[in-house]
Amino acid sequence: MTAAPTTKNHLQKRLGLPFALAISVGGVIGTGIMRAPGVIVNEVPVFWIAMTLWAVAGLFILLAANVTAELGAALPKAGGHYVAVHAAFGDTMGLLSGWTNWLANVAGTTAVAIACADFLGTINPWVAAHVPWAASAILIAVTAANWAGVREGKWMQIIGTAIKLGLLGAVVGIAFLIDPVAVAPSSAAAYVPALPGGIAGFIAIVTALQIILGAYDGWFGPIYFSEEDKNPGRNIPRALFTSVFVIIGVYLLVNLSLFKALDIAGLRASELPMALVIEQVFGRTGNIVVALIATIMALVTLNSIVMPTPRILFAMARDGLFLQSATRVNRGGTPTVALAISALIAFPLIWSGGFIFVFKLTGALSIFASSLYFAAFFALRRSQPDLPRPFRAVGYPILPALALVISVLLLIAFIAADPISGVYMIGLIGICIPVGIHLGRERVRAAISDKQAT
């Protein structure tokens, strides 16, 4: 016997522009920018190439925000990318999009939890020796905090974002003001004066771009909460464009400040380049200071991923494409069953291969989901021309088409440069096939039962 629906199966309109800005800026600026600059110059040890890749990725995100602002304002429902794809292409593609986007978020959750444990490991030897266990404990703690409700998560995100921007601004200021730091590279991180040629150079550039896009991932956070926003038609576009410009500016400033303070050998020699900068001010305690800063930033980022992830399953379940229990919402406005499922799936990934592997997998999954999303934009323009659109994408159809073409090319390049990640991505996406078959059979049985009952 199926329980009767209750008011607990509805999300609550408790959010506004400050939260939309915080979930976007706070969700992106954090773990990635703390670790990625050193990783990038390991792939492309040339200043102007590295900076160009950060700028190019930012321009792509701006193109993507142009499309997302229209769709997010026109379809103010929980679920992120899934909502538009489902509206444009129906259940099959909707399931594929929702599943992929949810997996990308779960992978992102895992990557940030691992990074947070890595940062703590520079302070505590036990954590350094047991990173998967520590990452699991951190994920459990953040999930438990979000269980309380949306209001608690909202203020955690707003306050945490303000703190992390202040901390990061202080580090950037120090990097610009101090004298250049001389770092003797280890034999394992010896300076390579130029980018390799041929296929090796192509793979290096694509790998670097994939990691950079992973660092940018999460800027579209506000669309997951459009159903809970008091004025989504106004707030979603404003939050997306404002956040993207802020993120691009901060990322370019951080990289410029690190290149000013450190030579490329120094960047290549450190997994946490900012620690070398802070050491110039705080001495040997610099590592501890940076580790604490990085941990705070990672926790805020982790919260910004944990919050939206269950809303994808909630939206899919509401449309009959996932377990109906995932639509349960507690008094605080949190989809608790969906939250628990998301956390449980993240734990195996924590043990799968470390931060860089999961970070690259997140980038590939996100690009796949974005490709479906951009295709849905054009399908909806054609099939629903009269849909109210509080914001219309600038430069239609050229700029949205450019976003779609770039995302497809990036996906192909990512798989070509890293086939292993491609296999993992295809395998994870393929899991949705038996799920879709099962749900389809259940819906047919339910339809037959309803017909027989009448």
pLDDT, tens digit, 9 for 90 and up, residues 327-364:
999 988 899 999 999 999 888 878 765 555 655 666 67
Q: Which of 79, 95, 88, 85 is nearest to 436 (CA)?
A: 95
User: Residue 31 above 80 pLDDT?
Assistant: no
Helical residues (DSSP H) of 262-320, grouped into ranges = 264-269, 273-282, 286-306, 309-318
Q: How far apart are CA 36 and CA 231, in angstroms?
A: 35
**Domain residue ranges of the chain, discontinuous segments joined by +:** 14-386+397-453
Q: For residues 174 and 29, give the distance between their C-alpha atoms in angstroms, rounded to a whole number.
A: 18
Place of tokens 């989504």: 232
CA quadruple 298, 353, 206, 210: dihedral positive or negative?
negative
- Cα separation, 434 vs 64, in Å, equals 31
Sole residue written with tokens 């099959």 = 92
Q: What does DSSP assign to residue 226?
A: G
- How far apart CA 114 and CA 356 sit, in angstroms, is 10
- Tokens describing residue 51: 């900076």
Give whichever of 109-113, 261-265, 323-327, 387-391 has the largest mean pLDDT.
Answer: 387-391
CA distance to 82, 177, 320, per residue, from 94 (Å):
6, 50, 11
pLDDT greater than 90 at residue 373: yes
Token output for 382: 């054609």
Residue 203, pLDDT > 90, answer: no
| Residue pair 222/308 in contact by the 8 Å Cβ criterion | no
Burial 66-75 (b: 16+ CB within 10 A, else e): bbbbbbbbbb
* Digit-coded pLDDT (tens) for 406-433: 989 888 887 887 787 677 777 767 776 6
pLDDT score of 1: 33
Q: How far apart are CA 404 and CA 409, in angstroms?
A: 9
Nearest-angstrom CA–CA distance, 284 and 412 = 45
The yes-or-no verdict on residue 192 having pLDDT over 60 is no
List, for residues 267-299, the tens digit of each pLDDT value.
777 777 877 777 777 776 777 787 788 888 888
Count other C-beta atoms under 10 Å from residue 202's C-beta. 15
Separation of CA 366 from chain center: 8
- Return the H-helix or E-strand segment holding 451: helix 432-453
Q: How far is CA 224 from CA 61, 84, 96, 151, 236, in A?
A: 17, 12, 17, 16, 10
Least confident range of 111-125, 131-145, 280-294, 314-328 = 280-294
How many CA atoms within 13 Å lie on the side-chain side of 141? 12
CATH class held by domain 14-386+397-453: mainly alpha
List CB contacts of 190: < 8 A, sequence separation 6 or more: 265
pTM of the model: 0.83
- pLDDT of 141 above 60: yes
377 neighbors 49 (Cβ within 8 angstroms): no
Q: Is the Cβ–Cβ distance between 119 and 298 less than 8 Å?
A: yes
